[in-house]
Structure 1
């Protein structure tokens, strides 16, 4: 970019805000509902946690590296366009994967009428039938008593079949039990035809194991070993590969756009206004998650043959990507190769490590990221088990984002009453209360009141982190320090929390996951004020005052030099005049 070229700051800020709005709206259409789709396909909590944790860790490593490479080779715009197109295409690949013994219509529409054990994936078959005309109609309800007929399994199996049948009619499994009431029969999958075929497949795999052993030991037959797995693990590895590819092509987008726009506005000395685009991103996320939740809930159970309505989230995502492309191609991106050559992320880490209060803030954001992953990954599972539909989920998440966006309006008054350290503690404690509340949901709308606490758990917490960044960072490094905190919370903490949360849900259930997270955060909030009080506070250096002082000292020295020169000139002139007068005499 040439120096004499005019920069339209208003136009640049308008494009930046539009892109932030549309980008966050696009992600909010799909990402909050992604784990719900994995559950519908048949994945268990541990598998879901591994996939989401791997997704966060890939973004932690690849986002800064991809942004650095795109700047080094001056390919920012190409990376942005390729990232948008590739992310839409790869996301649609997930729709090609078939579920594992799941009736899509039941799992997408009638799942709210069933209370499923959270340690099980949605690998159940629910067959509903009407009662005889002479009897009153009955509905399956989470609180309704049912009669269970359990057949003990001959071997350990993963899948059980739950069948709701009317025993008044003939049934291949219940022809000896003529009753008029509806009953729920739980029997092992070995009694079904699909289980017989699975046993035969397992026997064939067992027989062919010696023949395949040599190839597996050599590591030359990965596809053969994948075919030898059961359907559930095949599905898990296919989803994991697709999600890895999806994250690799999508995660460079945010950092690349952020760096290009910031450098462009900084070139015009208008980078202070760039932070205002974050509010447009929150509003876009509100529209995306609330709007798609409302639209998807109005669709039929199946939007096409064997395609559940939850797949509409993927189509909305792809459609909005096409809408973003013209804006992305018009973004003003600036490449300044002379500046920022050093790795300022490492410098930001050193600044955080050198301040005890900054370290406490970093550890708090890490714990908040671990706890937030439990909410992001499994809150919708908990809501679904208590009767929530896409409408309840979308509006609930939209209320949380609106509450978070409202905190800047209260920041001025709150900062006069509380210090940033106390606000940080209050934010973590609010998230703890939210998680504890989520463990006791009882109806479809029950999660809505707790979402109002997001004003403190997210809005106040990140405001305190921003103040901490300004306090510890040197001139020009505030943005890098803030990005370090975000990476610690959203990616490292989110990854670790996803791994741990999946196994906790698999072992203990959804309710105990939220209770454990709440107890852990609350214990940290008890010790955090004490540690902040004991930690030595370093005096903040006011660089503006230093510059003003240096300028005043320089002006004083210059004035003294001017006065010295003037005095010498006057003295010399006076000496010349006196000598001239003596000569005349």
Structure 2
């Protein structure tokens, strides 16, 4: 508990808050936007990817408020903050230990020089161990490998000629029993072969093993029933094993990182509120957007400069995880000096319940909730699969990083335009325009044609995500009672960032796998544009909530008011509020 006589440095607190938000957002942006692309390289299908990301959002939706409440109850906010930074960086690195599966594995495009280098490396690897090497060799092989069988034993004519050579070589090498014939596959290593068909014994042994397995089907089915979940992973195919391992790692990662945002936000806000400067805390959110833009753009530029590697655990893929870990390590000292305050008088749990009641009691707020859910679902399609769509059209991580950075900068610029837009459109109409802007972006993404084709649509983010969140903020301020504005804002942000994105990830993953990426974006655009047609009609039909008549309250309290005062003069404030009500349902009146 902070003492009253302790001096509070507001500027220092705001500087630390801005620095923390910048570094933390920069670290997250280095990895999270590229995470689904990494899952694609490992071999996950769109449906599996959507399920992993959807589970991540659902865990955050439930665990974040619970963990923040426990951190406040036991006064362990600083321990939770530092613990989240360190543990999340360690758990994220576990994803690098998972091997890929050879199921339509995609490769990030490299530049021409990198492609030549990787092709040379691949050819050298295949020449030493691969079964698909061409038998034509310009240079003579060493004497040890002159008896290597270069042709697969599946072709009858080639196998006969091979067997003849084997017989001749065995006659010549009869005084040297240590010499063997080396095949390209591990199963083709034969000692002195006397049979004219050297593959017959191998095939027969394989058939005997398959018959032996088929004779005991019950033993194969009864074994997994006695194992636990991790043991049952052994009897699954490789792709499903990878899916469940990724799901477990991402769930653990979410559990250790989800409480960080709300815990820092509560401690800093209560610190500034103690000094009557809580209104200045909103400026720290801008630093978060700028940090995310720098992180995603810098990661794209950095990874594009690295040499091309095929394996997902190479530097091109692991660089995102290492950048995330480095920024987490840099953020720990800043988090250590964050000014935190514990206000035990503020009932945090009742604040959320009261916020839910306020949202439920306002028809316009309920319409805003539905809009935010749809926007969150549409945004999940963009966040999860836009990079997949860009990669299919030739984009490298340089194009991806700069494109996402441009979108974040565009969103951060909307507050500069909010004053002019609010003079033309009411907050309800701005909400409709923002949802329609996201629909236009999704429709545009379905027709990408080149590496830089996504850049023009990213400029619309200012009038899609930026406009939606500005309208949500105005709606929160309109329905919130004093002291409940942050709780109401968290209700909307949780619905958009977690519940809406979770539903969008589940449905979007299955839609992308069933119909393709292009139709996923078109379906999201159709859903958003259809709601934007219905939303203005519902806003017009829903009656405006009756406001408090401040002029009558003042007249009732002022018993010394003159009886000769006219009714028109006493009701001047009521008329002013009625005029503001006609302009827009969400505009507040400054008294």
TM range (shorter): 0.7 to 0.9
- Give distance in 1, aligned partners of 2:312 and 2:49: 26
Task: Tell me what 1:210 maps to.
Answer: 218
Task: Tell me what 2:34 maps to.
Answer: 33
Q: Secondary structure at the match of 1:343?
A: helix
In 1, are the aligned partners of 2:54 and 2:502 still within 8 Å (CA)?
yes
Q: What does 1:513-524 align with in structure 2 at a 5 Å threshold?
A: 513-524=520-531
- Give distance in 1, aligned partners of 2:207 and 2:243: 20
C-alpha displacement at 1:199, in angstroms?
Answer: 12
Task: Tell me what 2:141 maps to.
Answer: none
In 1, are the aligned partners of 2:25 and 2:292 still within 8 Å (CA)?
yes
Q: What does 1:5-154 align with in structure 2 at a 5 Å threshold?
A: 5-101=6-102, 107-110=107-110
C-alpha displacement at 1:216, in angstroms?
Answer: 4.4
Say whether residues 1:379 and 2:380 are aligned partners.
Answer: no
Say whether residues 1:437 and 2:444 are aligned partners.
Answer: yes
Task: Tell me what 2:418 maps to.
Answer: 411
Q: Residues 103, 166 of structure 1: CA spacing in aligned structure 2 closer, same or farther, 3 A cutoff?
A: farther
TM-score, scaled relative to structure 2: 0.77
C-alpha displacement at 1:301, in angstroms?
Answer: 1.4
In 1, are the aligned partners of 2:301 and 2:397 still within 8 Å (CA)?
yes
C-alpha displacement at 1:31, in angstroms?
Answer: 0.2
Quick one: which of 270, 282, 289 aligns to 2:277? 270
Task: Tell me what 1:467 maps to.
Answer: 474
Task: Tell me what 2:579 maps to.
Answer: none
Q: What does 1:255-404 align with in structure 2 at a 5 Å threshold?
A: 255-302=262-309, 307-340=314-347, 342-404=349-411
In 2, are the aligned partners of 1:293 and 1:390 still within 8 Å (CA)?
yes
C-alpha displacement at 1:207, in angstroms?
Answer: 6.8
Q: Residues 423, 306 of structure 1: CA spacing in aligned structure 2 closer, same or farther, 3 A cutoff?
A: closer
In 1, are the aligned partners of 2:78 and 2:336 still within 8 Å (CA)?
yes
In 2, are the aligned partners of 1:226 and 1:234 still within 8 Å (CA)?
yes
- Give distance in 1, aligned partners of 2:8 and 2:560: 34
In 1, are the aligned partners of 2:109 and 2:395 still within 8 Å (CA)?
no
C-alpha displacement at 1:210, in angstroms?
Answer: 2.2
Task: Tell me what 2:147 maps to.
Answer: none
Q: What does 1:178-197 align with in structure 2 at a 5 Å threshold?
A: none
- Give distance in 2, aligned partners of 1:49 and 1:18: 33
Q: Residues 341, 317 of structure 1: CA spacing in aligned structure 2 closer, same or farther, 3 A cutoff?
A: closer
C-alpha displacement at 1:475, in angstroms?
Answer: 1.1
C-alpha displacement at 1:446, in angstroms?
Answer: 0.3
- What whole-Å deviation, never above 9, does each CA across 1:482-517 have from its counterpart, x for those lacking one? 111010011000001101111111111000000000
- What whole-Å deviation, never above 9, does each CA across 1:248-301 have from its counterpart, x for those lacking one? 000000010000100111011100000000001011001000011001100011
- Give distance in 1, aligned partners of 2:445 and 2:206: 38
Task: Tell me what 1:535 maps to.
Answer: 542
Stretches of structure 1 that go unaligned for 5 or more consecutive residues are 114-124, 131-162, 177-191, 558-585
Say whether residues 1:503 and 2:510 are aligned partners.
Answer: yes
Query: What is the alpha-carbon root mean square deviation over aligned residues?
Result: 3.6
Stretches of structure 2 that go unaligned for 5 or more consecutive residues are 114-118, 125-131, 139-149, 157-184, 188-202, 563-591
C-alpha displacement at 1:462, in angstroms?
Answer: 0.5
Q: Secondary structure at the match of 1:107?
A: coil
In 2, are the aligned partners of 1:128 and 1:164 still within 8 Å (CA)?
no
- Give distance in 2, aligned partners of 1:199 and 1:126: 38
C-alpha displacement at 1:304, in angstroms?
Answer: 9.7
In 1, are the aligned partners of 2:359 and 2:479 still within 8 Å (CA)?
yes
Quick one: which of 506, 523, 532 aligns to 1:525? 532
Q: Residues 172, 340 of structure 1: CA spacing in aligned structure 2 closer, same or farther, 3 A cutoff?
A: same
Q: Residues 193, 454 of structure 1: CA spacing in aligned structure 2 closer, same or farther, 3 A cutoff?
A: farther
Q: Secondary structure at the match of 2:5?
A: coil
Q: Secondary structure at the match of 1:440?
A: coil
C-alpha displacement at 1:6, in angstroms?
Answer: 1.1
Quick one: which of 239, 244, 253 aligns to 1:237? 244
- Give distance in 2, aligned partners of 1:94 and 1:198: 36
In 2, are the aligned partners of 1:111 and 1:385 still within 8 Å (CA)?
no
- Give distance in 2, aligned partners of 1:85 and 1:11: 24
Q: Residues 542, 448 of structure 1: CA spacing in aligned structure 2 closer, same or farther, 3 A cutoff?
A: farther
- Give distance in 1, aligned partners of 2:471 and 2:443: 23
Q: Residues 310, 284 of structure 1: CA spacing in aligned structure 2 closer, same or farther, 3 A cutoff?
A: same
C-alpha displacement at 1:530, in angstroms?
Answer: 0.3
In 2, are the aligned partners of 1:112 and 1:387 still within 8 Å (CA)?
no
Q: Residues 436, 73 of structure 1: CA spacing in aligned structure 2 closer, same or farther, 3 A cutoff?
A: same
- Give distance in 1, aligned partners of 2:538 and 2:4: 50
In 1, are the aligned partners of 2:93 and 2:321 still within 8 Å (CA)?
yes
Q: Residues 237, 304 of structure 1: CA spacing in aligned structure 2 closer, same or farther, 3 A cutoff?
A: closer
C-alpha displacement at 1:34, in angstroms?
Answer: 0.2
- Give distance in 2, aligned partners of 1:270 and 1:202: 75
In 2, are the aligned partners of 1:111 and 1:384 still within 8 Å (CA)?
no
Q: Residues 457, 306 of structure 1: CA spacing in aligned structure 2 closer, same or farther, 3 A cutoff?
A: closer
TM-score, scaled relative to structure 1: 0.78
Q: Secondary structure at the match of 1:253?
A: helix
Quick one: which of 486, 494, 504 aligns to 2:501? 494
- What whole-Å deviation, never above 9, does each CA across 1:109-164 have from its counterpart, x for those lacking one? 45999xxxxxxxxxxx999879xxxxxxxxxxxxxxxxxxxxxxxxxxxxxxxx99
Say whether residues 1:478 and 2:491 are aligned partners.
Answer: no
In 2, are the aligned partners of 1:293 and 1:393 still within 8 Å (CA)?
yes
- Give distance in 2, aligned partners of 1:550 and 1:201: 96
In 2, are the aligned partners of 1:112 and 1:388 still within 8 Å (CA)?
no
